[in-house]
Structure 1
Amino acid sequence: MKSGKRAWIAVLSGTLMVAGVATVAAPSAWTQPGAAQSPGAGGEILRTDAAQQAAAPPGLPGTLPARATRIAYASTDTHDNPTTVVGTYLEPTARWTGPGERPLVAYAGGTQGQGPECAPSAMVSQVIRFQPPADVVFQYDVLAIQHLLSQGMAVMLTDYHDFGVPGVHNFLNRKTQGHALLDAARAGLRLPGTGFTPASPVVLYGYSQGGMAAAAAAELQPSYAPELNVRGAYVGGPPVGPAEYIARSDGLPGVAPAIAWILNGIAADYPETRPELDAALNNTGKAILHESIGKCGGGLSNTFTRPQNTTQWTTSGQPITAVIQNSPELKKAFDQQRLGGSAPSVPVRIYAARNDDFYPAVRGIAASWCGGGAPVQLQADTSVPSMTGFISTHDLAFFPSMTTSLPWVTDRLADTPAPVNCAALP
């Protein structure tokens, strides 16, 4: 699979490119090929090392109130093959004063990019990253992580697949994100010296890409990690699938790299789709996919130099959504990434801004889970204004989502009955 990923990049760009050097703060030995080829069972710890001290959010003094440990752990990919994931465990310095024993929050980060420097752990240690010529990336997740740590909750932050080991990060892949987050929880519970046991309480948590990962993990947990004591899943602003993301984002400024990350990941994971994409994309489209490998988020540089509408990426002049629908192989691969195929067995709180373009699809997933018997609370936040562009409603909604999520998480740890509004979804 790894060699296939590299070959696909060569098909699109004419130049072989390996997008898998070590992430910031990760020992270079972790990226040796053997590390990714012979992992153990899901969540097994393969290596640990002290991590760079994570910076505190801007405006807050010093560093995050935690001791950080980098962990390479075993997981499985979208085809259920063994692979390796890197993440960071954050042991809070604050005492846990909530109900029961200290919980572990399995934290899924939001969208940052498709290069190793964009890995969530690396971004937490940097907070702000400039990538020439004009992109500035802000690791907003550090604000939520700070919030959780200050309450005495331990945090296990996954870097997803192919960020800390050679490969192409498969952005918005349902199974790999869900597996990476569940196995992060397993690894965090197994880390010596933490005081955790296999029965310690776990919470799944994420916003945006992280919201999709938390949702996928909640769907997969009953079959993939039934032994975990998951008390609940906080799912913030989730894209319900990459095809829906493309359909609602195509043409918006700064979104072209994210669409390219999706296509790069699909082609890497599903070799049968490569000829379809190679035939459909013109030289501009192929160049955009190539340029996006190794890029962190932002998209400002790309906006000035490349067309944002995918009708200008294809030989037919059709948008990428039409290319997907017209190709059985592509449609099959994209359909497998969509949330809603199964219902979680744990309480779920879904947060989304009512003015977010993704809200109708998010409500649809909530309805699907409710129909499957899941205890779901959907909050449609009407306080966030409608905005598009580089700062959107979706981006702004992250901030109020933090303050409303913590009481819900604490109540789940206290075994308070979960609120459900399936009968009258907003």
Structure 2
Amino acid sequence: MAQRRVRGFGVIAVAVLVTLAGPAIVSSSTAGAAPPLPQVDEFYQPPAGFEAAAPGAILRSRPIELVAPFPAQAWQLLYRTTDVFEQPDVTVTTVFLPHNVRPDRPLVSLQMFEDASGPQCVPSYGLQAGAQSSLETTGQLKDLQTMLQNGWVVSVPDFGGRSGHFPVAQEPGFMALDGIRAATRFAPLGLGAENRVGLYGYSGGGFATGWTVELQPSYAPELNLTGAAYGGPGADINAALFTTNGGPFSAIVGSGLSSYYATYPEVKASMLPHLTAEGAAVMDQIQTQCLSTTLAQQFFGDWKRYFDIPLDQVLALPPLAEVINKARLGTRAPSAPLYVFQAVQDEVIPVGSTDRMVEELCARGARVTYIREEMAEHMSTIFSASPGAFSWLGERVNSDAPVPAGCSTTTVQSQFLTPK
């Protein structure tokens, strides 16, 4: 009975998103004053010769008016970074300086789940006043508000880059880490290499946070990364695609497959012969839209209708299977301590995949506090787990409090009933 209630909550939550997916969300204070879309906004375009700049170098900056009345100043930074093919690229982060900033100025990088490739879906666009924002961005403003209320400087990177790659290996980590570098170099924030840095993300943002913390020792060892809190991270993309197909979150299948299809020529070449004409058109269409729109279109959809072979055979196509395997989390040992949270009844991210990720990280010497929540699913965990996660993260970025060695796993009935 409890499991049915938990899963029923997920269906209701997605139904609400589907209902709201039609109209655009526009800041009421500046209705009719929408900023230009990223694909036509010159700010997002790389300047000539950017490749020669160091990763994290700021190429452009501008102040912005925010979509909500946050107690903070905000800017966008265009910076040099590295893409999925380890080539120079650019992306944008939105940085926030709270009015009540702590004297020691900890910096937290918030990876917002985007889970889509449409250029209008990036957080940097949705955080601007008047933007026709995606529900994914506006649905995560509470986490941003909490961070600012704590007096933390915040960086919100567009970790999917200009091409909206999702969910690929390495690139989310490269782009988030270079966003942190850019923030530490942006004079108005008053930061330096010595400032404590934390990471936070959930779902697709948890996937990006996982890559960020795992790559930091090799890609950005100079950063003073003191802790990462992330949940429902999609450690095994193959398992997530199987789990969501045919259910309320079946849009995840389309977002993932269409991104791989557009990102890797060899994947497209292997998939195209098995796609129906409608399937090929859908792959191209999804590249232009946000997750909430795809949720509305693919609610309880079964993706086998777009292929001439079963979905398990599609996912087993060698080029696709290879890139999915490369995206698996838990293969590198982070140096910073971790707080991982996961719903046992999660209908998007199978709990077993997160269990295995934690086991692998612990075997590599990571320090992990792992919280499993029995009476929760994917959507409710956003709210139930955040108090405990932010409490733990505050201990890491607000002080030099020691972290217990080793790993611990705790299964609770509900974090609503056992707040931290």
Deviations 1:54-91 (A, max 9, x none): 31xxxxxxx01111101001110122111001110011
- The residue correspondences of 1:219-298 to structure 2 (distance < 5 A) are 219-256=214-251, 258-298=252-292
CA-CA distance at 1:31 after TM superposition:
3.9
For residues 280-316 of structure 1, what are the alpha-carbon distances to aligned partners after superposition, in whole Å with 9 as ceiling and x for unaligned? 2112221221221221122343137xx8212111022
2:400 equivalent to 1:415:
yes
Answer yes or no: is the 8 Å Cα contact 2:44–2:91 preserved in 1.
no
Q: 2-side partners of 1:376 and 1:211: how far apart? A: 15
Tell me: CA distance 1:424–1:154, structure 2 relative to 1, closer, same or farther (3 Å).
closer
Secondary structure of the residue aligned to 1:355 is coil
Q: For 1:267 and 1:300, locate their aligned partners in 2 and report how far apart those are by CA, in whole Å.
A: 19
Counterpart for residue 312 of structure 1? 305
Could you tell me which runs of 5 or more consecutive residues in structure 1 were left unpaired when the two chains were aligned.
1-21, 56-62, 385-392
What runs of 5+ residues in structure 2 fail to find an aligned partner?
1-34, 412-420
* Contact 1:87/1:156, CA 8 A, preserved across alignment: yes
Q: Which amino acid aligns with 2:315?
A: I
1:45 maps to 58
1:75 corresponds, among 56, 75, 81, to 81
Residue 424 of structure 1: CA displacement? 5.0
Task: Answer yes or no: is the 8 Å Cα contact 1:115–1:294 preserved in 2.
Answer: yes
Q: Please give the alpha-carbon distance, in whole angstroms, between the structure 2 residues aligned to 1:366 and 1:340.
A: 7
Instruction: Describe the SS at the equivalent of 1:247.
Output: helix
User: Within the alignment, does 1:324 sit opposite 2:315 as a pair?
Assistant: yes
1:139-158 mapped onto 2 (5 Å cutoff): 139-158=138-157
1:397 aligns with 2:381: yes
Alpha carbons of structure 1 residues 263 and 126: separation in structure 2 relative to 1, 3 Å:
farther
Farther-moved stretch of structure 1 (289-298 vs 109-118): 109-118
Q: Would you say the 8 A contact 1:282–1:315 is kept in 2?
A: yes
- Aligned equivalents of 2:354 and 2:136: distance in 1? 26
CA contact (8 A) 1:127 1:142 kept: no
Residue 39 of structure 1 deviates from its aligned partner by 5.9
Aligned partners of 1:47 and 1:73 also within 8 Å = yes
Structure 2: how far apart are the matches of 1:313 and 1:91? 47
Q: TM-score, normalization: structure 1?
A: 0.81
Equivalences, count: 373
CA offset at residue 122 of structure 1?
2.1
> RMSD of aligned C-alpha atoms?
2.4
3-state SS in 2 of match to 1:364: helix
Measured after TM superposition, the shift of residue 129 of structure 1 is: 5.3
Q: Distance in 1 between matches of 2:286 and 2:306?
A: 14
In 2 relative to 1, CA 328–378 (structure 1 residues): closer, same or farther, beyond 3 Å? Answer: same
Note if contact 1:23-1:119 (Cα within 8 Å) is conserved in structure 2. Answer: no
Contact 2:58 2:78 in 1 (8 A): yes
**1:170 corresponds to:** 165
Moved more, 228-237 or 242-251: 242-251
Q: What is the CA–CA distance in structure 1 between the aligned matches of 2:127 and 2:370, rounded to whole Å?
A: 29
Q: Deviations over 1:321-340 (max 9, x none)?
A: 32121x22221111111111
Q: Is residue 145 of structure 2 the alignment partner of residue 160 of structure 1?
A: no
Letter in 2 for 1:160: F
Task: Give me the identity figure in percent.
Answer: 28
1:374 Cα deviation after fit? 0.3
Report 1:8-157 matches (<5 A): 24=37, 28-32=41-45, 34=47, 38=51, 40-55=53-68, 63-96=69-102, 101-111=104-114, 113-125=116-128, 139-157=138-156
User: Quick one: which of 321, 327, 352 aligns to 2:342?
Assistant: 352
- C-alpha contact (below 8 Å) 1:367/1:422 kept by paired residues: no
Q: Quick check: 2:121–2:133 contact (8 Å CA) kept in 1?
A: no
2:94–2:157: 8 Å Cα contact kept in structure 1?
yes
The letter of the residue matching 1:369 is: L
Q: Distance in 1 between matches of 2:96 and 2:386?
A: 18
**Letter of the structure 2 residue corresponding to residue 288 of structure 1:** V
CA deviations 1:243-276 (Å, max 9, x no partner) are 22211111113523x3222223223332222210
SS at match of 2:385: helix
Are the structure 2 counterparts of residues 138 and 214 from structure 1 closer, same or farther at C-alpha, using a change threshold of 3 Å?
A: closer
Q: Distance in 2 between matches of 1:36 and 1:425?
A: 50
1:371-390 aligned within 5 A? 371-384=363-376
Matched, 1:338 2:328: yes
Q: Deviations over 1:122-157 (max 9, x none)?
A: 2233699578xxxx6562221001000011101000
The answer for the alignment partner of 1:390 in structure 2 is none
Q: Give yes or no for contact 2:84–2:168 (8 Å, CA) kept in 1.
A: yes
Q: Give the Cα–Cα distance (whole angstroms) in 1 for the partners of residues 332 and 371 of structure 2.
A: 21
Alpha-carbon offset, residue 112 of structure 1: 5.2
Partner of 2:178: 183
Matches of 2:40 and 2:247, distance apart in 1: 38
Task: Tell me which moved more, 151-160 or 291-300.
Answer: 291-300
CA contact (8 A) 2:231 2:340 kept: yes
Q: Note closer, same or farther for the CA distance 1:398–1:421 as it changes in structure 2 (3 Å cut).
A: farther
Q: How many Å separate the matches in 1 of 2:133 and 2:185? A: 35
Q: Which amino acid is 1:259 matched to?
A: V
